[in-house]
Amino acid sequence: MPISTTDRRRLLLAASAVAVSALMPPPAAALTQAEARGLIAQVMTDVQRIINSGQSEAAMLRQFEALFSRYGDVPTIARSVLGPPARSASPAQLSSFTEAFRGYMARKYGRQFRRFAGATAQVTGARQIQSHWEVITTMTMRGEAPFDVRWHVSDRSGRNLFFNLIIEGVNLLAVERQEIGAMLERRRGNLDAMIQDLRAAG
Amino acid sequence: MPVNHRLALRLLVVLAALTGLAACHPRPPGATVHDPFESTNRAWFDTNLALERALLPATDRPAGPPAPSPARRTIRNVADNLSTPRYVVNDLLQARPAQALVNGWRFVINTTVGLGGLFDPAGALGLTGRPNDFGATLHVWGVNEGAYKVLPLFGPSTERDAAGMVVDAFLDPLNMVLSTNERAGAFVLRQSGRIADRIEYADILEATVLQSADPYVQARLVYLQNRRHFLGEAREEEFIDPYADFDD
């Protein structure tokens, strides 16, 4: 029986896919599970040091912002959260958005952290998702049921950094994409006006 | 009314609620949010929020966490203990015997040593338990989530979970031992527990949801994602790879 054209095409496609993947270098020096877990353990130690330090809120928020820059891939997170408008934004707009977004995130979420003074946090697992790692941590507060925070970690930026956080199922990238979209809509798509709003928000 | 008649009536109501599910608006595969009743939902969302702010000043734009309060702690303990028999029934309906045992022991310990649920000695022993409800049972049985619904007073829900709430009221084992008045009292205490929870986390809700550009859509997303996580739904397809955006 002659092989049909579609079958032949499929066969060719499959063969070329195999050839291409053979040519591609393996994900060299890929992020290991131990490195991903180590990074998140370090983040949590730093967060706890800040919340238990007894400093003023303003001082803590500044430290959270520095910590977010140090361990998080802020430019990638900001670009992803901005979505399609990031493609038409000028480099200057993109960098002022990134800076405003970093401060907004530190204020919005950093203020909630003081609740966790005295809480214990532990890395309880990790799993690979595509080429990234999900590090699972469990937070325990006295008198409350423990809850789970998942950190998505990647080395795609050239450094080992986290790029998303899932708190009891709530996906921060998804939440902030929606929020930044709503803020942009409120300004009828005017990115500069939205960046101004963002500096005052959170 | 003789017991068997009451039981028959209860079963009828349960069946009616389940039949109501047939009228569900199933969430299409791949859709994260299914909200065909958005305008009604938005109206109830605004009404619920205005009511909360008027009746519970502690939820009216709080700047920080509420002062620790033993009374609030106690109300939350009592409400949780009164709900625990329901958790156990649903654990069993979902074939989770280990979870049923933990919740069962919690009820026994907290009702006796914890003086009717005023305290939570079981939690102190490491038995933290896990809430459960008939909406979750329906999920385990394969019922679709249905449309997103904002219920009057009760807030965010889905068609499936709203039907589950009705069934839970009828399947409650406490019904068999409590008189009508006591049942009304238990209802009030459980709702007080919800209010105490709402006050406990008012500042987080305010900062992350209610202060946002469109609180309605933020509340919807956060509720649905958190609920699906609780149900243990695998949301692998919701994994966001921000690096993939730059590849093309």
pLDDT at B32: 87
Token pair, residue B219, equals 């509340």
Domain count, chain A: 1
Residue A10 falls within a domain, yes or no? no
Alpha carbon of B78: minimum distance to chain A alpha carbons (Å): 14
Q: Do B217 and A183 touch (CB under 8 A)?
A: no
ipTM score: 0.88
This model's pTM is above 0.90: no
Residue A40, domain member (yes or no): yes
- Which of A80, A132, A178 is facing B217, going by the closest CB pair? A178
Low-confidence ranges of chain A (pLDDT < 70): 1-29
CA distance B51 to chain A (A): 25
**Best of A51, A82, A105, A112 to mutate (most B CBs within 10 Å, chain B):** A112
- For residue A160, give how far its alpha carbon lies from the nearest alpha carbon of chain B (Å): 13
Chain A CB within 8 Å of residue B123 CB: yes
Report yes or no: A146 at the B interface, CB cutoff 8 Å: yes
A196 touches chain B (CB under 8 A): no
Closest CA of chain B from A45, distance in Å: 22
Nearest to A76 among B73, B130, B243 (CB): B243
Domain containing residue A52: 33-200
**Domain assignment present for A8:** no
Query: Is A129's CB within 8 Å of B239's CB?
Result: yes
| C-beta of residue B142 within 8 angstroms of C-beta of residue B120 | no
Q: Which of B143, B153, B169, B150 is nearest to B26 (CA)?
A: B143
B26 φ, ψ (degrees, to nearest 5): -60, 145
Is A119 contained in some domain? yes
B230 with A169: Cβ contact below 8 A: yes
Contact A174 B240 (CB under 8 A): yes
Q: Is residue A21 part of a domain?
A: no
- From A80, A115, A145, residue closest to B242, measured CB to CB: A80
Does B241 sit within 8 Å of A130, measured CB to CB?
yes
Q: Specify the CATH number for the domain of residue A167.
A: 3.10.450.710
B218 vs A164: CB contact, 8 Å cut-off?
Answer: no
Across the interface, whether the CB atoms of B245 and A112 are under 8 A apart is answered: no
A114 vs B: CB within 8 A: yes
Q: Look at residue A140 and tell me if it is in a domain.
A: yes
Residue B64: its pLDDT value, please?
A: 85
The three state secondary structure string of chain B is CCHHHHHHHHHHHHHHHHHHHHHCCCCCCCCCCCCCCHHHHHHHHHHHHHHHHHHCHHHCCCCCCCCCCHHHHHHHHHHHHHHHHHHHHHHHHCCCHHHHHHHHHHHHHHHHCCCCCCCCHHHHCCCCCCCCCHHHHHHHCCCCCCCEEEECCCEEEEHHHHHHHHHHHHHCHHHHCCCHHHHHHHHHHHHHHHHHHHHHCHHHHHHHHHCCCCHHHHHHHHHHHHHHHHCCCCCHHHCCCCCHHHCC
Say what the pLDDT of residue A26 is: 47
> CB of B31 within 8 Å of any CB in chain A?
no
A6 in a structural domain: no
In a domain, residue A67? The reply is yes
For residue B248, what pLDDT is reported? 43
Tens of each residue's pLDDT in chain B, 248 residues: 455 677 777 777 776 777 666 557 888 888 889 999 999 999 999 999 999 999 999 999 998 888 889 999 999 999 999 999 999 999 999 999 999 999 999 999 999 999 999 999 999 898 988 999 999 999 999 999 999 999 999 999 999 999 999 999 889 999 999 999 999 999 999 999 999 999 999 999 999 999 999 999 999 999 999 999 999 986 666 789 999 866 54
If you measure CA to CA, which chain A residue comes closest to B130? Answer: A145
